Structure 1
Amino acid sequence: MKRSTIRTVEDILRDYPKIDKYIEQREQELRYPVTPVDENVGGGRAQNGFNDSTDRLIITLDEDKRINALKKQRQVIDDCLDEVGEDTEIIIDELYFRKRPRYTIDGLITNGLIHVSRRKAFYLKKQFIHDCAKELGLYDL
């Protein structure tokens, strides 16, 4: 697998704890758009137009590419985490989901937080990243 693909998946994993916040921010941007001030005094639009902003909002939220991409990323990571064992979950949580990781993989092994060898721990991490990349469509076998 390419180094750039690994880095992309790692960046997505680091953003995983903040995905819900990103989705909420994007929905707020769509719900309350910033409208430019109309400085055209006396001219311009008709005042008795039909207001269909609610319908447009629903369609916009369903079709927004950024929201759909974030939801897909969240779903893929959730599915990958459901398929792995406890040791892999601990490794991924410590290395990617924490704001300030306390341990490296060696530290997790030394302190008895995971019960696998060093080689197996690196393999579990690599396999998880590989599975996520495959599900995200970033890497084909």
Structure 2
Amino acid sequence: MGNRSLLLRYTLLAIGWLSVALGVIGIFLPVLPTTPFLLLAAACFTRSSPRFYHWLVQHPHLGPWVRDYLGGNGIPLKGKVYAIGLMWLSIGFSCYLVPSPWARGFMLTSAVLVTLYILRQKTLAVGAAEP
């Protein structure tokens, strides 16, 4: 394995574990969305460590977030509401703090695109195994 691929592997592992940590914090702190961080971790682990990917997907508490999304079951309605609401709250606050029209435009455009993406995702059926 070359130095470049080894560096990429360690970078993906670091991002993956940071994402797991942020996702776990997001379970208890409603300002951080859990599912996107766990999905990022799964994506990083897929390319860097099949063992950690398997651990995450099979984890009794974290796994359902990843499995429901990857299985095409969708995102819980509560998760959609939290993600969209908190994103717009933080974007709105950031736009208030940042005077640059270009930065505001970029943030608002990003928020609209992410909102559309989340809304287009299937909503996890009520009564399904919601985390």
TM-score by length of 2: 0.31
Larger radius of gyration: 1
Larger % of helix: which? 2
